[in-house]
Amino acid sequence: MPTLDVSNFNVVCAVLGGFITLFGLVSYLLKERFYLSEALISLGGGILFSHGTNWLKPLEYCLNDEEYLADVTLYFTRLVLGVQLVLAGVQLPSKYVLKEWRSLALLLGPGMTVMWVSSSLLIWGMVPNISYLHSLAIAACVTPTDPVLSNSIVKGKFADKNIPKDLQKIIIAESGANDGLGYPFLFFALYLIKYVTYGGRGQPGGAGLAMGDWIGETWGYTILLSVAYGIAVGWVAKELLHYAEERKFVDRENFLVFAITLALFITGTCGMIGSDDVLACFVAGNAFTYDDWFRLETLDDSLQPTIDMLLNLSIFMWFGAVCPWASFVHNDVIPIYRLIFLGILVLLLRRLPIVFALHWKIWQIEEKQQAIFVGFFGPIGVSAVFYLYLSLDFLRQVTVDGEEREDAKELESVFLVVVWFLAICSIVVHGLSIPLGKLGYHLPRTMSQAMTSRSMSEDPAEPDPPFHLRERVLGSNVFNRSGDRLRKENTRSRQEPLRPVFKIGGTVIPAEDGTSKRTSLEKNKAAPAPDLTDLEKNDPSSSSGEADVITPAEHVSFERSESEIKQK
């Protein structure tokens, strides 16, 4: 007799597959019409299927061991960051980091330092009973901008319309580089906590040993070694792929997935030697496309973005399931009202002031509005959770007489509450900023148009205006911005030839004969307004000799420049 097998594996496959399938059915609507981010949607899915329905049980999968759950989350974030950063390096143009080193140096040097210090001051001021050194360690987790969330901002319909390409590239490069450069900020504070605070008991050496470890291990072994390793692996991988492609040794499928497998290799090998795999992945991605060959070959390919999307949906669903939601309200660290206020202050003051101050020196940021955008959209996400669990792993090794020190245990609880809350705040706020901003922009205009249409319909005696500035001529039918058809009696059937039009400044005027005229208000500021009767007679002199006669087939080319029209 058939029996149900509701095992954890079957439930996870069903929930994850079902959620991604349903999301895929409306993905264009949600992302390109409503401008909702994948991170926010999948975070909500994780909350629903874990805390809401109890179908996903992360702690049970980890044998009810909190440390095991922390290790799994750390490894998951490493995997996602490794793939994301290799792809971020690959999609940048050839030698981009070398060419734009001045802009990147400002963002990664004084930019990251001020972000770190300002965040630490806010945390120190809002979290009770915490030392400034502890706040420096916590602030280091939220200093880097997240490449996963940054990638969602600079891709898609909104980015193509509103963000210049040069600005998109500098955002990608900064988010990729500063992720790996979070190590020095974090371990500067952690080494001092280990060797200096708590009287240095159990950890002799003092500040001298702390600074020695910071310079030798963090900068030398972790940062410099990862940069050298990333360059070497990326360059060798590029040459090997060139060799295999020239001799037709590699098929198209493996060619396209090569960057993904490279990310896995670097993440694993750097992890084994204890270096910075996050920074190594970004450096390797840049070295791999040093000659731009692989980037151009895969420019129109959708395999890499597809794998990237699957990882993003999975990681944020996992975040929704493992986030300690209850601890935001019930904790011994900070009251909820202070926590909310801290989240608001960090999102506003962590990055925006320094980017606005530096934007005069960064040529990619041309306007104040762009500086505000770049300063505000410095999201906190996967990288913050990665550094959080990296810190917890370090603090467990801060011992005295074989037991974890009391100050380290207390700091762990502060880390969990503050970093998780700031990450969730950023995911929610940055995920809703664009749709709410678009709604705030369009809602007053929509209401104004609706009220105007209603007043016109209530007063039928008022004649229709001869033309509307915001109408578009599409074939033989005229539509306004809301899609309503205007005056059916003035439209023609599809079988009739296209009606020519006159364009005077920003206004389109239909004509009855086989020609149309173009005038320019810029050239006729001093001339009287042209007579419509003369225009209908196709008299070129009626517009002071400045009108160009256009055939019906050419009336679709009104967006051409004035120089092209004169050449005709």
For 34-52, the pLDDT digits (tens) are 888 999 999 999 999 999 9
In a domain, 547, yes or no: yes
Q: Which residues are within 8 A (CB) of 372 and not within 5 positions of it... i.e. 6 or more apart?
A: 352, 356
pLDDT band at 438 (very low <50, low <70, confident <90, very high): confident
Long-range contacts of 198-203 (CB under 8 A, 24+ apart): 198/400, 198/405, 198/406, 198/407, 201/400, 201/405, 202/399, 202/400, 202/401, 202/405, 203/398, 203/400
- Give the least confident one: 17-26, 397-406, 485-494: 485-494
| CATH of residue 308 | 1.20.1530
In a domain, 88, yes or no: yes
Q: Which residues are within 8 A (CB) of 442 and not within 5 positions of it... i.e. 6 or more apart?
A: none
pLDDT in tens, 97-145: 999 999 999 999 999 999 999 999 999 999 999 999 999 999 999 999 9
- Kindly state whether residues 398 and 516 are assigned to the same domain: no
Q: Determine how many CB atoms are found less than 10 A away from the CB of residue 106.
A: 18
Give the residue with greater pLDDT, 505 vs 191. Answer: 191
- Kindly state whether residues 503 and 432 are assigned to the same domain: no
Phi, psi of 273 (to 5 degrees): -90, -5
Exposed/middle/buried for residue 486 (C-beta within 10 Å: 0-12, 13-18, 19+): middle
- Kindly state whether residues 386 and 486 are assigned to the same domain: no
Structure tokens at 567: 């050449």
* 324 and 69 Cβ atoms separated by less than 8 Å: no
Q: What is the pTM of this model?
A: 0.78
**pLDDT (average), residues 371-390:** 95
- Kindly state whether residues 368 and 504 are assigned to the same domain: no
Name the domain count of the chain.
2
**Gap between the Cα atoms of 408 and 214, Å rounded:** 19
In a domain, 553, yes or no: yes
The per-residue pLDDT for 222 is 95
Among candidate residues 147, 70, 177, the one with its CA nearest the CA of residue 312: 147
**pLDDT (average), residues 477-506:** 42
- Kindly state whether residues 249 and 136 are assigned to the same domain: yes
Strand partners, 548: 518
Long-range contacts of 60-68 (CB under 8 A, 24+ apart): 60/8, 61/8, 67/396
**pLDDT (average), residues 503-527:** 44
Strand partners, 507: 504
- Kindly state whether residues 495 and 431 are assigned to the same domain: no
- Give the least confident one: 18-27, 49-58, 72-81, 526-535: 526-535
The per-residue pLDDT for 303 is 87
pLDDT band at 451 (very low <50, low <70, confident <90, very high): low
**pLDDT (average), residues 311-323:** 96
Among all chains, which residue has been given the structure tokens 């410095």?
378
Strand partners, 473: 478
Q: Which residues are within 8 A (CB) of 514 and not within 5 positions of it... i.e. 6 or more apart?
A: 500, 551, 552
- C-alpha 453 chain-centroid distance: 39
Return the half-sphere exposure (C-beta side, CA atoms, 13 A cut-off) of residue 512: 7
Structure tokens at 63: 């044998």
**pLDDT (average), residues 171-182:** 92
Buried b (16+ CB within 10 A) or exposed e, 508-526: bbbbeeebbbbbbeeebee
- Kindly tell me if the per-residue pLDDT of 453 is higher than 90: no
**pLDDT (average), residues 169-196:** 93
- Kindly tell me if the per-residue pLDDT of 470 is higher than 50: no
Mean pLDDT score across all residues of the chain: 82
Q: Determine how many CB atoms are found less than 10 A away from the CB of residue 113.
A: 13
Q: Determine how many CB atoms are found less than 10 A away from the CB of residue 108.
A: 17
- Kindly state whether residues 478 and 436 are assigned to the same domain: no
What angle do helix axes 182-195 and 132-142 make, rounded to 10 degrees?
A: 160
**pLDDT (average), residues 2-26:** 93
The per-residue pLDDT for 497 is 47
The per-residue pLDDT for 487 is 38
**pLDDT (average), residues 417-424:** 98
- Kindly state whether residues 218 and 349 are assigned to the same domain: yes
Report CA dihedral (154, 156, 159, 160) to the nearest 10 degrees: 130
* 227 and 280 Cβ atoms separated by less than 8 Å: yes
- Kindly state whether residues 48 and 173 are assigned to the same domain: yes
- Kindly state whether residues 517 and 405 are assigned to the same domain: no
Among candidate residues 151, 105, 92, the one with its CA nearest the CA of residue 362: 105
Give the residue with greater pLDDT, 143 vs 201. Answer: 143
In a domain, 251, yes or no: yes
Structural domain including 507 reads: 472-567
Phi, psi of 478 (to 5 degrees): -110, 130
In a domain, 56, yes or no: yes
Looking at residue 512, its amino acid is: E
pLDDT in tens, 219-235: 999 999 999 999 999 99
- Kindly state whether residues 238 and 178 are assigned to the same domain: yes
- Give the least confident one: 140-144, 153-157, 332-336, 381-385: 153-157
In a domain, 456, yes or no: no
Q: Which residues are within 8 A (CB) of 484 and not within 5 positions of it... i.e. 6 or more apart?
A: none
pLDDT band at 444 (very low <50, low <70, confident <90, very high): low
- Kindly state whether residues 217 and 257 are assigned to the same domain: yes
The per-residue pLDDT for 538 is 46
- Give the least confident one: 59-63, 107-111, 415-419, 434-438: 434-438
**pLDDT (average), residues 540-550:** 42
In a domain, 2, yes or no: no
**pLDDT (average), residues 163-183:** 92
